[in-house]
Amino acid sequence: MIEVQGVTFSYPGTTVPALENISLIIKPGEFLAITGPNGSGKSTLARLLNGLLRPGEGRVLVDGLDTGDEASLVDIRRRVGMVFQDPDNQLVAATVEDDVAFGLENLGLPPAEIRQRVAAALEVVELANLRTRPPHRLSGGQKQRLALAGVLAMEPRYLVLDEATAMLDPVAREEILQKVLELRREKGLAVILITHLMEEAALAERVLVLKAGQILLAGPPAEVMQQEEKLAAAGLKVPVTVALGKGLRQAGLKLPANLVTVEEMARALWKLASRK
Amino acid sequence: MEIGLQEVSFAYQVAGRQLPVLENINLKVSPGDFLAITGAGGSGKSTLAMLMAGLLEPTAGRVTLDGQPARGRGKGKGLAPWQRVGMVFQQPEQQLFAETVAEDVAFGPRNLGLGGARLEARVKAALRAVGLDPQTVGGRSPFTLSGGQQRRVAIAGILAMEPEVLILDEPTAGLDPAGREQVVNVIRAFYRRPGKAVVLISHNMAEVAELAREVIVLHRGRVALQGTPRDIFRQGEALRSYGLIPPPLTSLMQVLRRQGAPVPLDVLTLAEARDAILAWLGV
Amino acid sequence: MLIELGQYIPGTSSIHHLDPRSKLLGLLLYGIALLAAPTGMAASLTGATILPVIILAGLAPAFIWRQLRPLIVFLLIIFIFQVAFTPGEVMAAVGPVRITREGLNYGLLALARVFFLVLAAAVLMATTDPLALADGLERLLRPGQRLGLPAGELALMLTLALRFVPTLLEEAERIMRAQVARGATFQGNQIKNLMPLVIPLFVSAFRRAEGLAEAMEARAYRGGQGRTRMRELHFRAADYIFLLLAGLLAAGSAYYRLRFGS
């Protein structure tokens, strides 16, 4: 469990806090989306979860370990894995396999175990055949899968994706998301997805909307997406299916208001069609 | 200004081997056109954009400007006609370098030989065109702006050269919804002016549906599909085989259709989708 | 832009298979032998012991030539300088320039030292994966850690350089094209003309460094202490033989200098 308790954070040299009095609990195995416009504090919140940033006020506990406690940081970072937005800035080694090994080497694991975990992680992200390739000769999607492998090899319990799909084309984006959701199902990994795409946020169990450092909305996607005005005021757009549902209801269709994904919408429409 | 590509191929030379990127591309962009080029990563979109902007020369075939064969840009190789073709690269904010926003925007037109009051007028107009106030933003360092603002400054730097054809490579990638909308509005406003043409490189099919008049789908360096957005979206499931993901409305129509509903696949807007569903349900 | 010097040519020769540490130590011993050699002739003979290594490594003469070509002018300047400005027994005079026996000797000595040392370094880099080289260097410097030498950090810096040079080159090309699209020519030799390329590259490198530091920290990096390495290095029989030969060469050269040298 990750507990964020009354956290306020300001960057040095600024007067307005980037986050103000945030409290939040992330359960093991949960799928949480954190969304909001640029500058709303989503990435700051992500960096507080693994101790890259320490709260000015309040505290963050990861499975009971305080991120303010220097001695716990390695353990916290093993538990909370993070994939960043820019693929080029998070790959550190000159070959694919050496990059996956980097985190394990930092943990001080024996070489034999490192090799075995690296092989397993590359298998999971389907990069085993590119083991010896230099990262700069991978596509954007492959680079992000490699970054994911480097984190997975450390066997985290929580996976934070900080706009990890923002620079990818839609196919690569879908591949990464599918892979992450598959891992969540198989290993019970909690997923914390930071995104400004509402279509992506709608896939989560719970959505947190940030605006100017504060929690604007929180709840299941179907509830959050109903707040069209509030979202628009925060510079966010509801998924197009939600907008379509609204249009159809105004035209007289008796559609429920909690339709978010394409599949849900199709199912509801067929229900109406079969009633005729 | 009309850009023409005739039987254009392009290959990179790597360690003595030829790596083909584009093969036998034929296309034409005339004033009033809005062409979208789409395709999966690695399909050759960006290379095609650079060929159309004279920043690469084809290994076979020819590129023409107003019907005249044109070599690439560069030292004395006929820069003049290419001045009328503007190219906005991916993440163009990375090319900002000057001390002030106004100086950066002035870089292009100054290279064209402009100066004095005319230059100043160009810079101001370009900044206004991207929705930035020359008075408040012009004197600031570009590096103090937000990501979305930096991108618009970079686009202003191209607009200030007053191109007739504007080529943009993934201009909205990585922006949040508000930033995206601002950039889309800039592109729209440019296109509305008489005699202008836009070439948009994008993997975002919703954006393509929203903006383009004509679409080319590249697949492994060849033209796989060509037509209006409606023609393209009518292909349904075939789009996925070219590594494209249809926008949500098209996906919805595809799902309904697969299950037997007589709805069209080529809906482009929310209103069209709503009307199509209402028609199917007989409301 | 192709920098040929220091290029790695993957292969399976016995030289390729040597432990990177033995190759690094071998280079050190070879360098000592070259420096110890007292005369031009001795240095040339010492240097020539690299030939069997080149043959064993299966490196093509054309490859070797390309590695050394950029050096030729520099070597000639050293040679001519030594020949022309060393006083001693005059063998010939060209105008005001006197060529002396000592001059020829020192010229040859300087030439042989630089030439063979660069050649040996090129052979080392051609037969050793850069990553293995960084690992070997780290392992060799490890005893120095107690004296405060950051061996792990140095090796990491080396791998980061290997990782990011291609990325930054790609970026330089892209930014150059983007500025050409804005009418830049990059002509003339004024620094000012390069600013549209240099500043964005600098900004980007800085931004990358920040992102990289953050990503490394997120993956539990906290300096070289307590790190293990995936790649293990093993000395084999061939390594001991190779080091023995290199040691003999250095010792022999030093003995010769003490016995006969000036």
Which residue ranges of chain B lie beneath pLDDT 70? 14-16, 74-79
Distance of residue A96 Cα from the nearest chain C Cα, in angstroms: 11
Q: Which of B146, B243, B277 sits opposite A39 (nearest CB)?
A: B146
Report yes or no on C226 lying in a domain. Answer: no
- List chain C residues with CB under 8 Å of A86: 211
Q: Cα distance from B42 to chain A (closest Cα, Å)?
A: 8
pLDDT of residue A170: 86
pLDDT at position C1: 31
Distance from CA of C159 to the nearest CA of B (A): 24
Binary contact (C182, B157; C-beta < 8 A) = yes
User: pTM of this prediction?
Assistant: 0.86
Q: Kind of pairing, strands B214-219 and B34-39?
A: parallel
Q: Do B95 and C182 touch (CB under 8 A)?
A: yes
Query: Are C6 and C107 part of one and the same domain?
Result: yes
CATH code for the domain defined by B3-232: 3.40.50.300
Whether C180 and C91 map to the same domain: the answer is no
Contacts for A180 with CB less than 8 Å, ≥ 6 apart: A148, A159, A161, A191, A193
Q: Do A171 and B244 touch (CB under 8 A)?
A: yes
Query: Does B75 reach chain C within 8 Å, measured CB to CB?
Result: yes
- The reply to whether residue C178 touches residue B157, judged by beta carbons under 8 angstroms, is no
Interface predicted TM-score (ipTM): 0.91
3-state secondary structure of A266: helix
- The verdict on residue C140 lying in a domain is no
Select from C178, C183, C198 the Cβ nearest to the Cβ of B95: C178
- Does some domain include residue C254? yes
Domain count, chain C: 2
If asked whether residues C160 and C48 sit together in one domain, one would say no
Cα of C208 to nearest chain A Cα, Å: 5
- pLDDT for the residue A257: 86
Question: Does residue C231 belong to any structural domain of this protein?
Answer: no
**Interatomic CA distance for residues A78 and C83, integer angstroms:** 64
B81 reaches A (C-beta below 8 A):
no
User: Same domain for C73 and C117?
Assistant: yes
Please write the tens of the pLDDT for every residue from A41-86. Answer: 999 999 999 999 999 999 999 999 999 999 999 999 999 999 999 9
Chain B CB contacts of A167 below 8 Å: 173-174
Instruction: Please report the pLDDT score of residue C6 as a whole number.
Output: 66
* Direct distance between the N- and C-terminal alpha carbons of chain B, in angstroms, rounded to an integer: 48
Q: Indicate where chain B has its CATH 3.40.50.300 domain(s).
A: 3-232
Tokens of A55: 């709260």
Same domain? For C124 and C247 the reply is yes
Distance CA B85, CA C186 (A): 20
* Domain range annotation of chain A: 2-238, 239-276
CB B256 within 8 A of CB A264: no
How sure is the predictor about A145, in pLDDT bands with cuts at 50, 70 and 90? very high
Q: How far is B194 from chain C (nearest CA, A)?
A: 23
The CA dihedral of C243, C247, C248, C254, to the nearest 10 degrees, is: 160
Contact B41 A141 (CB under 8 A): yes
Q: Which of B87, B96, B143 minimises the CB distance to C181? A: B87
Q: Do B184 and B173 meet the contact criterion of CB atoms below 8 Å apart?
A: no
Contacting residues of A for B178, CB less than 8 Å apart: 37-38, 235
DSSP assignment of C131-149: HHHHHHHHHHHGGGGGGT-
C167 and C200, same structural domain?
yes
Reading phi first (left if > 0) and then psi (alpha if -120 to 50, else beta), residue A81 is in beta
Asked if C30 and C159 sit in the same domain, the reply is no
Query: What average pLDDT values come out for chain C (262 residues) when binned by 10 residues?
Result: 61 92 95 93 94 93 84 87 80 78 88 92 90 86 83 84 86 92 79 87 92 94 84 91 95 90 61
d(CA C65, CA C61): 6
State yes or no: pLDDT of A102 exceeds 90. yes
Residue of C nearest to A85 (CA): C211
SS3 B129: helix
CB–CB of C159 and A93 under 8 A?
yes
Q: In this complex, is the C-beta atom of B241 within 8 Å of any C-beta atom belonging to chain A?
A: no
C27 shares a domain with C102: yes
- Does domain A2-238 correspond to CATH entry 3.40.50.300? yes
Instruction: Decide if C228 is inside a domain.
Output: no
Q: Answer whether A158 touches C (CB < 8 Å).
A: no
C-beta atoms of A95 and C167 within 8 A: no
User: Are C30 and C119 found together in one domain?
Assistant: yes
Task: Give yes or no: residues C205 and C254 share one domain.
Answer: no
Token pair recorded at residue C65: 């030539």
Task: Report the pLDDT value the prediction gives residue B63, as an integer from 0 to 100.
Answer: 95
Which residue among C182, C185, C200 places its CB closest to the CB of B94?
Answer: C200
Q: Are residues C103 and C183 in the same domain?
A: no
Q: Residue B15: what pLDDT? A: 60
User: Domain residues for C163?
Assistant: 150-220
